[in-house]
Every structure is written in structure tokens, then in C-alpha cells.
Amino acid sequence: MPKPLCTTSTLYEAQLILDLLSESLIRAEIRNENLVGLAGLLPEAATLPTIWVEHESNWERARAIVDEFEARRFEKLPPDITCAVCGETNPGNFELCWKCRAELPAGAARQASG
């Protein structure tokens, strides 16, 4: 039996969580996604995207995934990394240079955040 998991503030955020659940083989769906356009005309709670887990037996595992997602949202990003090959600046959480696709220093992002 489906069970509500969480409510998000945007459809984009709901889709990110749905993708994370899918990667963990948890079947879920977004409800209210078509009501987002009615924000301001209906009560806010009625128009917010809500994620429902298809099988109640997966709810605890799904909740842990959402909790981890929410915790990561507020983590400070590691400092930018300069590519040794082309000299381009990349966000600290990248593994490959966005410009030349060269590998960035291994563990740089983990060292900065850990």
C-alpha cells in the first residue's frame, strides 16, 4: 500500500529525490505535480509536490535516503579546483574537468569536505 514519504518545496527537488529513490530500487511517485501551477490559488499545502513510496515496506529505507539528501543540501561545497591540464577552474565537487574532461586531483573534494 502506498505511503507518503515527504513534501518538497519545488517540483525540481521532488524529482531529485525520486531519482535517488529509483537508483536504490525503491518505487515511488510524485503526487500534486500538476497542481504546482495553481500555487497562490489553492492553499499552499495542497499544491506542494509530495512523494509517495509504493510499498510501505520500503518506507524506512526511503526516509533514510531523504534524510541524507536533506543533510547534504546544507553542506558547504569544497573549494574550487584548478585543472592541471588546461588550467580551468572547476567546482570542488567535480571529479573531471568540465572543459577538457581530464581527471581532477583524486580525493581533493573529499579532503576539503572531510
φ and ψ at residue 82, rounded to 5 degrees: -95, 130
Query: In the chain, how many domains are there?
Result: 2
CATH of the domain at 22: 3.30.70
Closest CA to 49 of 9, 86, 18, 17: 9
Tell me how many helices (H) and strands (E) the chain has. Answer: 4, 5
Q: Provide the residue range defining the domain that includes 82.
A: 77-114
Same domain, 11 and 64: yes
Provide the residue-wise pLDDT of the chain in tens; the chain has 114 residues. 899 999 998 889 999 999 999 999 999 999 987 766 655 665 566 668 999 999 999 999 999 999 999 988 888 888 999 999 999 999 988 999 999 999 998 644 444 444
Same domain, 52 and 81: no
